[in-house]
Structure 1
Amino acid sequence: MRAILLGGGLSLLISLIGTRYAIVVLARRGYGQEIRDDGPTTHHTKRGTPTMGGLVIIFATVVAYFAAKLITLQMPSASAMLLLFLFVGLGTVGFLDDFIKISRQRSLGLRSRAKIIGQTVIAISFGILALWPGLVDDRGETPASHHLSFIRDFDSWALPTVLVVLLIWLIITGTSNAVNLTDGLDGLATGCCILVFAAYTLVNIWQNSQSCALSPGPTCYTVRDPLDLAVISAAITGACFGFLWWNASPAQIFMGDTGSLSLGGALAGLAILTRTEMLLIILGGLFVMETVSVMLQVGFFKATKGKRLFRIAPIHHHFEMLGWEEVTVVIRFWILTGLCVATGLGIFYAEWVAGIG
């Protein structure tokens, strides 16, 4: 538990101080955000705001995690190293996307095919390693599972390795892109991520206290390294908190794809490693809503030959076009995320209580 507190606290301090330094350095180098021309006109004033702030979130998380492990004299687990690989790997893809936007002075970075290839390489590598027989623990558990899961594995639904890796790829690319779509208003994605990562910190702590390794029984959890996953989840929560101080409206820095892709990947990784893939749909309900709004917009536009279902997608921009202030949209979407998180945690705990009964 000390490692969780240290990871979260150190990450918050590093991010809070480091983001202020990053703003100065990025502004001096002219690494400013380009704004899409078809978006709300109020966003044009944001052109030139320093971006790639996700580098600070990644740096703060990684340094805080290893510092916490060093201070508590604990060895990193296989699950934690895999999660950090996914977190940093997708952050690297996002960094390349951001750097191209800046160097070429345009609102589009990597071509969609190149971005998907980068996400695919990282996601497939993560999936293969997470199922690798050489990473089994004393109980024979690999970091990821061959079973579908909601709150725990569906034991009767074992899947072939190839299909599991494909599902892992789908979850990771879908979630990372969902957070990327949500990152369009000052503090929106950051605040939503804080709530969902905090939820996963609680989930991991509970799974550790009810682990089959500690207290075998019908309601125990077979997650391999829940306490170590909680350290990373707490560290990401703290890093996002520190970053939000500078990212809240009016934002002095944006996380860019560097931050959104890495955070989305980390959420997907936590869902996979904690056997809660379907629960993520509820906890991250706001990200699902943002993604579905884009899918509906594109589908409706093609089906009706040019008509639009929303004034603009993703849906947070639609509400801006209706006249809502940016801060109003952000706060209300934070509230929606809080409701999703409360619902997800309630279902998670209720399942455990029902198992006791």
Structure 2
Amino acid sequence: MGTAWAAVAAILSFGITALFGKWLIPFLHKINFGQTIRESGPTWHRKKNGTPTMGGFLFIAGILVAVGVCLPLYYRMEGKDPLVMAMHAKIAGGLLMACGFGLIGFFDDYIKVVKKRNLGLTVRQKLVLQFLVAGGYLYSLYRAGSGSKTLIPFAGGVDLGVWYWVISLLGIVGMVNAVNFTDGIDGLNASVTFFAALSFLAVAGILRIEPVSIFAAATAGGCLGFLIWNFNPAKVFMGDTGSLFLGGLVCALGFALNLPILILPVGIIYICEILSVVLQVSYFKATHGRRLFKMSPIHHHFELCGWSEVKICTVFSLVTVLFGAAAVLLAAFGL
């Protein structure tokens, strides 16, 4: 029964996301909510200047409706009360966290659009708000009865004590920003996150955690529906509204399975993206102006090496599939 509801959630999320674009994209054009392309980016990106942004609202709507419809129906069909389900608390809290990050992204996008620049909120403002959202989510898990014990493949349940909450707080904020850095070329973030969600869907299926299967399926469906509008050449960008929301979802899926450790292999591309930025900035400062990469995040480096946007999306997606499969195997044989 859980598999059927996961399929329904995926189809519903895909359909709402895809159809919503027929109205939202013309509306964003009408109110002139276009992306301002940074001057320091690849020169050929300037032709994308003015492409509507905040398109993340497409899959935000699709995912929220799909989970909001399918999860309660699943509980009712199974004769379970969602109000007393700890898993429901994790998923509801995860969705609220993702929406919180998406709201931060919306503020950032709105400032960029209104002031016609590529910089919105300051780094300090973003981080303060992100830590508040992540901290609120972890507090909700604590209040729902989640302890500091986490599953680690081949090690079983490991109680990290207070360090669990510290590592989780830093990890969530770091991963959300890593997902944000992955949004730089047409279709990349949605493609990578689609396969990341499929990986979590497979793990949830192996562990028979049907509510998370529904959650992951809705995420995958929303990403796929968005790609109709965002694949090269993109008709709309997700903006920070969408990328920060997706970052929250990726973290929420890992925590809902009580396997946040699997976020590392599943999110290998996100990690490479943010590490490339850290390395580039550190090397630039240490060498007084020399660069380690032609440009960061790393997808821009490959662009300047001559790779097309479609090739980058394909290769990065395949890497996500490979490491996602490793995560699935860890769950299948290590737990």
TM superposition score category, shorter chain reference = over 0.9
Q: Any conservation in 2 of the 1:147–1:153 contact (CA below 8 Å)?
A: no
Answering whether residue 67 of structure 2 is matched by residue 65 of structure 1, we say yes
Report the equivalent of 2:141.
Answer: 130
2:260 paired residue among 260, 264, 277: 277
Deviation at 1:34, TM superposition (A): 0.9
Report SS of the residue matched to 2:36. coil
Q: Any conservation in 1 of the 2:18–2:58 contact (CA below 8 Å)?
A: no
Q: Any conservation in 2 of the 1:79–1:229 contact (CA below 8 Å)?
A: no
Report matched runs for 1:23-102 at 5 Å. 23-72=25-74, 74=76, 76=82, 77-102=88-113
Moved over 6 A (4+): none
Report SS of the residue matched to 2:260. coil
Q: Distance in 2 between matches of 1:296 and 1:148?
A: 30
Q: Any conservation in 2 of the 1:58–1:87 contact (CA below 8 Å)?
A: no
Q: Distance in 1 between matches of 2:270 and 2:71?
A: 31
Report the equivalent of 1:344.
Answer: 327
Report the equivalent of 1:111.
Answer: 122
Q: Which runs of 5+ in 1 are unaligned?
A: 137-141, 209-225, 353-357
Q: Which runs of 5+ in 2 are unaligned?
A: 83-87
Q: Distance in 1 between matches of 2:126 and 2:275?
A: 20
Deviation at 1:69, TM superposition (A): 3.4
Deviation at 1:156, TM superposition (A): 4.8
Q: Distance in 1 between matches of 2:12 and 2:119?
A: 34
Report SS of the residue matched to 1:65. helix
CA separation of 1:153/1:277 partners in 2, compared to 1, >3 Å: closer, same or farther? farther
Deviation at 1:275, TM superposition (A): 2.1
Q: Distance in 2 between matches of 1:260 and 1:202?
A: 23
Q: Distance in 2 between matches of 1:149 and 1:291?
A: 26
Q: Distance in 2 between matches of 1:57 and 1:332?
A: 23
The TM-score, its normalising length taken from structure 1, stands at: 0.87
Deviation at 1:71, TM superposition (A): 4.2
Q: Root-mean-square deviation (CA), in Å? A: 1.6
When structure 1 is superposed on structure 2, of 306-315 and 68-77 the one drifting more is 68-77
The TM-score, its normalising length taken from structure 2, stands at: 0.92
Q: Distance in 2 between matches of 1:6 and 1:281?
A: 28
Answering whether residue 8 of structure 2 is matched by residue 6 of structure 1, we say yes
Answering whether residue 315 of structure 2 is matched by residue 304 of structure 1, we say no
Report the equivalent of 1:235.
Answer: 218
Q: Any conservation in 2 of the 1:34–1:47 contact (CA below 8 Å)?
A: yes
Q: Any conservation in 1 of the 2:109–2:120 contact (CA below 8 Å)?
A: yes
Report the equivalent of 2:240.
Answer: 257
The answer to which structure has the higher helix fraction is: 2
Deviation at 1:348, TM superposition (A): 2.2
The number of equivalent residue pairs is: 324
Deviations 1:260-301 (A, max 9, x none): 111111111221231222221111111111111111101111
Report the equivalent of 1:195.
Answer: 195
Deviations 1:245-267 (A, max 9, x none): 11000000011111111111111
